[in-house]
Amino acid sequence: MNIKIALALTLATALFSQDIKTTINEILSTNPIILERLKNYNATKEDITTAQAGYFPKIDLSMGIGKEDGEKPVDQEFDYSVYQNSITYTHNLFNGFETTHRVGQQKNRTTAAAYSYVEKVNDTSFETLNSYLEVMKNSELLNIQKENIEINTEIFKKVQKLYDSGLTTLSEVNKIESALSLAKSNYVVQENTLLDAMHKMKRLLGRYLEPSAMTRPQDVALPQTIEEATKLAVQNNPSLLVGTYNIKMARERFEEKKAPFFPSIDLEVSKSMNKNLSGIEGNYDNLRAMVYLKYNFFNGFADKAEVQKSISSIHQEIETKDKLRREVIEGMNLAWSANEKLSSQLEHLNEYKRFSLKTLTLYSKEYDLGRRSLLDLLSAQNDFIAAKAQIINTEYNLLFAKYRVLDAMGTLVSTVLGEENTSYASVGLNGETPKNSDKLPISYDR
C-alpha cells in the first residue's frame, strides 16, 4: 500500500512539475513588466508610419455653406446663400532632408525599443531564475533543518535514557533540550525564509509555485575564457544594443535639425467651387497650381541652438553607452570570478562534509561507550549540518553564477528556451514584421 502511495505521489509530482524553462515561458506571456515593454514597442513602431507621412501628399477638402447680406455702393441691398468649397493637394518636394532623417530617427528609436523589450525579457528572466533557485535552495535548507531536529531528537532520547538510568546528569539533559529547541527555532526561521522566496516568485509569476513541483535547472556550458565571454557580452548584451541604437537615433536627429538651413519647396494644386461670394451673385470656380519656395534667413539663432543641442545629445548617448559597457564588463568579471571560486570552494566543502560525517558517526559510537561528552557530540553534529547547508548554498550560488555569466552575455533566455525563444520575433528582430497590434477593448482589472 505504501509503495502505491509513493508511486502516486511521484507520478503527481511528474505531471505537475514545472521546470525553469516552462516558468520563463509562462512569464514571457504573463508578466506585466515584460508586456509593458512590448506595448511600448508596439506604440513606438507606429511613429515610423507617422514620419513616413512626410513623403506623401496631403489632400484637404473644405466645404462651407452660409448666408451673406449687405448693401452695394448703389444702395442696393442683397441677401444671398453662400457656398464655398475647395479641394487642395499639397506635396512637399524638398525640406532639407528633414523627412528622410526623421524616418531614420524613428526606425532607430523603434529598434532601440525592440532591444529594450529584449533587455527587460532578459532581466526579468534572470530575476525569475534567481527567485526559482532561491525557492529550491531554501526548500532544501528547510529539509536540512528538519534533519537537524531529527538528529537532536535521537540524541535527546539517548541522553534521557541515560539520565533515567542514573548514568548522566540533569545538566546534560538540559543541554540537549536547549539544542533541540534551537533546532526547532532554526526550522521556523528557515520556513519564513522559504515563504519570502515563494512570495517573490509569486510577484514574478502571478501565482505560487510549490517547491515540490520544481526541478533544479541544468548546468550550462560557458565560454572557455573570460576574454571570449566578455567579447560576446559587448556584442550581444541587449542593454548595450539599446545604447547603440540610441546613438544612431541621436545622429539622425542631428541631421534632421540641419533642415531649417535649407529652403523648403512645396507643390500646391487647388480647385475652388464657390457661389455668391462677396455680394456677387453667381458661380465662381477657380483652379490654381503653384510651387512655393520658403527660405528662412533669421530665426533668432534658434535653429543653430537646436543643432548644437543635438550634438550634445550624441555625446550624452555615447557616454551613457560607455557607462553601461563598463557595468556589463564589471558584471561579467564578478560572475566569472564567482564561478571559479565557488567551484574550488565546493571541492573543499565536499571534503568537509565527508570528514564531518565520519566524525559524527565515530563520536556517536564513542558517546554511547562513554568516551565522548555530549558537547563533543553536539559539536560534531553541528559541523555535519553546517557542511550540508554550506554545500547546498554553494551549489546554488555556483549555478546562479553560471547563469549570471549568460545574463551578462545576453544569451540567458536563448540558452534556457532554445528554439522556443520568441522574444526576438515578437519585436521583429528576426527579420520578419511582427503581427502583434493591440486591440480594444481591454480589461482594466485582471
**Is residue 446 over pLDDT 60?**
no
Q: Which residues have CB under 8 Å from 96's CB, separation 6+?
A: 258, 259, 260, 261, 262, 263, 264
Contact 393, 137 (CB under 8 A): yes
Higher pLDDT, 422 or 339: 339
pLDDT digits (tens, 9 = 90+) for 347-383: 999 999 999 999 999 998 998 888 888 889 899 999 9
pLDDT digits (tens, 9 = 90+) for 391-406: 999 999 999 999 999 9
Task: State how far the alpha carbon of 317 is from the alpha carbons of 105, 109, 244, 251, 430, in Å.
Answer: 14, 13, 8, 10, 26
Residue among 387, 382, 389 at smallest CA distance from 176: 382
Global pTM?
A: 0.87
Domain borders along the chain are 17-58+98-263+305-426
Residue 124 sits at φ, ψ, to 5 deg, of: -70, -35
Question: Is 17-58+98-263+305-426 CATH 1.20.1600.10?
Answer: yes
Higher pLDDT, 77 or 299: 299
pLDDT digits (tens, 9 = 90+) for 67-85: 866 666 655 666 677 888 9
Q: Across all residues in the chain, what is the average pLDDT?
A: 90
Residue 76 to residue 147: CA distance in whole angstroms? 113
Q: How confident is the model at residue 445, as a pLDDT?
A: 59
Residue 378 to residue 183: CA distance in whole angstroms? 12
Q: How confident is the model at residue 79, as a pLDDT?
A: 62
Residue 156 to residue 161: CA distance in whole angstroms? 8
Distance of CA 7 to the CA centre of its chain: 39
Q: Which residues have CB under 8 Å from 364's CB, separation 6+?
A: 377, 380
**Is residue 8 over pLDDT 50?**
no
pLDDT digits (tens, 9 = 90+) for 230-272: 999 999 999 999 999 999 999 999 999 999 999 999 999 999 9
Contact 82, 202 (CB under 8 A): no
Q: How confident is the model at residue 82, as a pLDDT?
A: 80
Q: How confident is the model at residue 75, as a pLDDT?
A: 56
Residue 158 to residue 164: CA distance in whole angstroms? 10
Q: What is the mean pLDDT of residues 40-63?
A: 96
pLDDT digits (tens, 9 = 90+) for 214-234: 999 989 999 999 999 999 999
Residue among 222, 237, 234 at smallest CA distance from 342: 222
Cell of 372: 565522548
Residue 85 sits at φ, ψ, to 5 deg, of: -130, 145
SS3 428: coil
Q: Which residues have CB under 8 Å from 236's CB, separation 6+?
A: 409, 410, 411
SS3 275: strand
Residue 436 binned pLDDT confidence (cut-offs 50, 70, 90): confident
